[in-house]
A and B are shown apart, each in its own frame.
Chain A
């Protein structure tokens, strides 16, 4: 049974299945549809504190699902200026609307975005197709 994964345009993607949306001098971060489908039913999210500084690839948030615990790594170096506190009581937003209502945090950039480390939608779509093929071959 093949699953469909949503990869909308207007976002950049990481190998760890986070998305980044550039909003002027800030970025919004969340997890991809692929990530939420793999994690399945998300039970809760541990969010960063507003004002907290994170370097690229450092843990930004932790997601707990019925299946596993997963760290969300920051795709940029920045300062957290906003968190999606709705996720505290409604973690299922991450499953229901990962690119919209399920966003995790907004960061103010402390360093330039390293675009060479991120994927555009076409690249990311190919990347998850490859991952799925490897999974089937296993």
Chain B
């Protein structure tokens, strides 16, 4: 049985193309991938990302449980702040990438937002690890909705829905508010590389949610689907779980060590990651690339060195609407993971030159507002 956001019917009625993603029926685009993508880069767009998993972790031992399961130091998170973290297995493989938010006013309450595709797995792990602890794990995916307003105009737009001053709200920080009678956590956050705000709405009421959605759209905010979300995150270099990272990849090779606190006493996977850092060194790295010659990279395409030897593989690829070229994320052997390295992309029976970069293809601007 596929799941769906409360507003699916509404999106379908206004002409969105609906598709399936991680067992969710969700809008792929409302008008076109290009229009929606450009709207977010130049103005503002709104995404319904209710498909993402939301889990409440609450109780005296909440911090203890999260400290064990997550790679960042949960103790250091101040009330209202959010952090990006990984959850790893004993071998250091990535179980999921997620954000962890410490509630702004309710002590001992954390909210995890993780991927749709790992919903059952992450819940199962948290529940099974909490058996002897004083902590409650509650799946709030189906009683809350998540809207993301993204783009340079997002501050102006979202400010209209609250009396709070959002100018001083820092990136990855949340505040409590109320929109249309719906209890809301407003978080400055996003996945597009632009400034943006996410509304975690404590409601599943279609009429109320539709009103909020439509009121935002009326301000000239473009409804955006999953296709634009994917093309935007690709330009911003954000890995997608299940595609660029999974349990077969570790945070060292995925270059996600900024989300791993090795100074923490212990967490699941720490020893294995230490070993990778100390002994082996990563054999490959997840890097970005842009096509020098005309080509559109697709997942699974091979990367060759200038002598035609296989040195890597594309994990995500597509078209950059901002730059007008093909771009992607790929794993390449460590020796080739260098800024400016020229390699070749195998496109069927042809080879096309690409350039490796360690920085996002389109620079992040989320802190500019």
- Where the two chains meet, the residues of A that have a C-beta atom closer than 8 Å to any C-beta of B are 1, 40-41, 43-44, 46, 62, 64, 66, 69
Contacts and interface: CB of A to CB of B under 8 A. Distances in A.
21 contacts: A1-B12, A1-B15, A40-B32, A40-B33, A41-B33, A43-B296, A43-B319, A44-B294, A44-B296, A62-B348, A64-B295, A64-B319, A66-B33, A66-B34, A66-B231, A66-B318, A66-B319, A69-B296, A69-B298, A69-B347, A69-B348
Given A1-B15, A66-B34, A66-B231, 11 more contacts: A40-B33, A41-B32, A44-B296, A62-B348, A64-B295, A66-B33, A66-B227, A69-B296, A69-B298, A69-B347, A69-B348
Interface in B280-325: 294-296, 298, 318-319
Nearest to B16: A1
Contacts of B15: 1
Report whether over half of chain A's contact residues are helix, strand or loop; otherwise say mixed.
Answer: strand
A92 to B, nearest CB: 9
Contacts of B34: 41, 66
Interface in B19-78: 32-34
A24 to B, nearest CB: 33
Nearest to B294: A44
A43 B318 CA distance: 10
Contacts of B33: 40-41, 66
Nearest to B231: A66
Contacts of A41: 32-34
A1 B18 CA distance: 11
Contacts of A43: 296, 319
Contacts of B295: 64
Interface string B338-360: 00000000011000000000000
Contacts of B294: 44, 46
Contacts of A1: 12, 15
Contacts of A69: 296, 298, 347-348
* A44, A66, A69: residue with the most chain B Cβ atoms closer than 10 Å: A66
A1 B11 CA distance: 13
Nearest to A46: B294
Q: Which 6 A-B pairs have the closest CB atoms?
A: A64-B296, A66-B33, A43-B319, A41-B34, A41-B32, A41-B33
Interface in B124-152: none
A69 B295 CA distance: 10
A44 B318 CA distance: 12
A138 to B, nearest CB: 11
A40 B34 CA distance: 11
B353 to A, nearest CB: 15
A40 B227 CA distance: 12
A78 to B, nearest CB: 21
A105 B318 CA distance: 26
Contacts of A46: 294
Nearest to B13: A1
A4 B363 CA distance: 41
A28 B34 CA distance: 30
A4 to B, nearest CB: 14
Contacts of A66: 33-34, 227, 231, 318-319
A44 B347 CA distance: 14
Contacts of A40: 32-33
A34 to B, nearest CB: 16
Nearest to A59: B348
Contacts of B32: 40-41
Contacts of B318: 66
A69 B317 CA distance: 12
A1 B227 CA distance: 20
Contacts of B319: 43, 64, 66
* B15, B231, B318: residue with the most chain A Cβ atoms closer than 10 Å: B318
A69 B296 CA distance: 8
* B33, B295, B296, B348: residue with the most chain A Cβ atoms closer than 10 Å: B296
Nearest to B33: A66
A62 B319 CA distance: 16
A44 B293 CA distance: 12
Nearest to A68: B298
A64 B352 CA distance: 14
A62 B12 CA distance: 32
A100 to B, nearest CB: 21
Contacts of B347: 69
